[in-house]
Amino acid sequence: MHDFALTLPWTGLAVFLVLLITYLASSIAKKHSVIDTAWGLLFSAAAVAAFLRSIGDGNDVRRWLLLGMTAIWGGRLAVHIGRRSIGRGEDPRYEEMLADRGQLQTIVMVYGLQGVLAYVISMPVQVGMFSTGGIGVLAWIGVLVWLVGLFFESVGDSQMERFRDQKSRGEADGVMDHGLWRYTRHPNYFGDACVWLGIFLVSADSWPGLLTFPAPAIMIYLLAFGSGKRVLERSMAKRPGYHEYMARTSGFVPLPPRRG
**DSSP summary character for residue 91:** -
Q: pLDDT tens, 95-113? A: 777 777 778 888 898 899 9
Tell me how far the alpha carbon of residue 88 is from its chain's centroid. 21
Mean pLDDT of 237-259: 91
d(CA 204, CA 82): 32
Look at the alpha carbons of 6, 12, 14, 17 in this order and tell me if their dihedral is positive or negative: negative
Domain termination site, one of 131, 147, 182: 131
Residue 180: predicted pLDDT: 98
For residues 169 and 245, state if they share a domain: yes
For residues 103 and 157, state if they share a domain: no
For residues 127 and 210, state if they share a domain: no
Cis peptide before 208 (omega within 30 of 0): yes
Angle at the Cα of 87 from the Cα atoms of 86 and 89, rounded to 5 degrees: 105
Mean pLDDT of 154-183: 92
pLDDT-derived band at 260 (thresholds 50, 70, 90) equals low
Nearest by Cα to 125 from 9, 8, 260:
8
**Alpha helices by DSSP H, 186-237:** 187-204, 214-224, 229-236
For residues 100 and 144, state if they share a domain: no
What is the number of other CB atoms lying within 10 angstroms of the CB of residue 165?
Answer: 11
- CA distances 213 to 121, 122, 205, Å, are 9, 11, 12
Structural domain boundaries, residue 42 = 1-131
Q: pLDDT tens, 170-229? A: 888 889 999 999 999 999 999 999 999 999 999 999 999 999 999 999 999 999 998 778
For residues 102 and 212, state if they share a domain: no
- CA distances 239 to 74, 164, 174, 233, 234, Å, are 30, 14, 9, 10, 10
For residues 120 and 166, state if they share a domain: no
For residues 95 and 151, state if they share a domain: no
pTM: 0.93
Q: pLDDT at residue 1 above 80?
A: no
Residue 188: predicted pLDDT: 95
Overall number of domains in the chain = 2
For residues 107 and 148, state if they share a domain: no
For residues 84 and 12, state if they share a domain: yes
Mean pLDDT of 73-92: 90
Domain termination site, one of 89, 109, 131: 131
For residues 224 and 112, state if they share a domain: no
